[in-house]
Amino acid sequence: MTDLTDLRTIRDLIRWSVSRFNEAGLYYGHGTENAWDEAVALIFNTLHLTHDLYPVTLEARVTSDEREKIVMLITRRIGERIPVPYLTHEAWFANLSFYVDERVLIPRSPIAELIANQFQPFIDPDSIHSILDLCTGSGCIAIACAKAFPDANIVASDISPDALAVAHINVLRHNVEQNVSLYESDLFNTVPKQKFSIIVSNPPYVDAEDMAALPTEYHHEPRLGLAAGTDGLDLAIRILQNASDYLDPNGILIVEVGNSEIALADKFPEVPFTWLEFQNGGGGVFLLTAEQLSEYKTSFCSPD
């Protein structure tokens, strides 16, 4: 049995954590992909160390109180299968730190890369005056957009008042309350009836088969933010049906549908979805222009 007092440095704790994680057979996918990165994320966040200090701080000694807290969190990560961001209440998206808890999904969308590139080459950044973020959750997409377009008006909506409470925390945390407005809304139902330069959404898109097979870690996330019917398209189709009414003539719609990409393409084979590619990995994100949405609106309103 390990004498925990032997764990003197950050490196000791990381090494010990990795061994415990591998032994337990944890599932990763909430910001990390392996045991080492998971341990680094947990330990650095717990010690309030920024990740740019890795690896220079690996030989730094930890106090007994710090060691006790880290070991407690590692024990919970293993025993309860709680994702690290819920244990540390911090997740990173678009190089920004967000508060998260089990009222919202943990940010992990490749849409961050689009925001970093100011949605180029799909739209002229100088023409972007307003953005609508549907199913905002923690507010990460809306807030990242506010940072990328400080002069734009950002509207962020979610059906969950609990999620909006977390989004409000993050809006205040990033000082963007002047250009991010939060609305409790079932998709478009109560958002302002105006024209947006961009509508962007990471809605629920997990189909019934995948929901039944989710690893334990994902069951800590709100089901409302994951499940989207038998084929995973319940929300995506509703967005497609209504988005053209809210887009500028030169605007674009961007929606993440993840593993439901094939189901969506099969349901609407005539629609010229642009499936986006990402340098940092990820997929299942489509783009349609306002013109395309108008042209194929009949198809979306009467899907097979």
**Does the domain at residues 4-88 carry the CATH identifier 1.10.8?**
yes
Is residue 215 classed exposed, middle or buried when 0-12, 13-18 and 19+ CB atoms within 10 A define those classes?
A: exposed
Decide if pLDDT at 303 tops 70. no
For the beta carbon of residue 299, count every other beta carbon within 10 angstroms.
16
Strand partners, 155: 132, 181
Domain extent listing, the chain = 4-88, 109-301
Q: Can you tell me whether residue 231 is helix, strand or coil? A: coil
CA gap 208, 233 in Å, rounded = 11
Query: Angle at CA 77, nearest 5°, toward 75 and 95?
Result: 130
Q: 283: which 2 tokens?
A: 């997929």
The two beta strands, 247-256 and 285-289, are antiparallel
Given pLDDT bands bounded at 50, 70 and 90, which one contains residue 304? low
H runs (alpha helix) in 81-188 = 84-88, 111-116, 140-148, 161-173
Q: How confident is the model over 176-191, as a mean pLDDT?
A: 97
**Does 282 score more than 80 pLDDT?**
yes
Superfamily of domain 109-301: Vaccinia Virus protein VP39 (3.40.50.150)
Evaluate if residue 211 carries a pLDDT over 80. Answer: yes
pLDDT, tens digit, 9 for 90 and up, residues 227-250: 999 999 999 999 999 999 999 999
Of 112, 103, 104, 69, the C-alpha closest to 88 is: 69
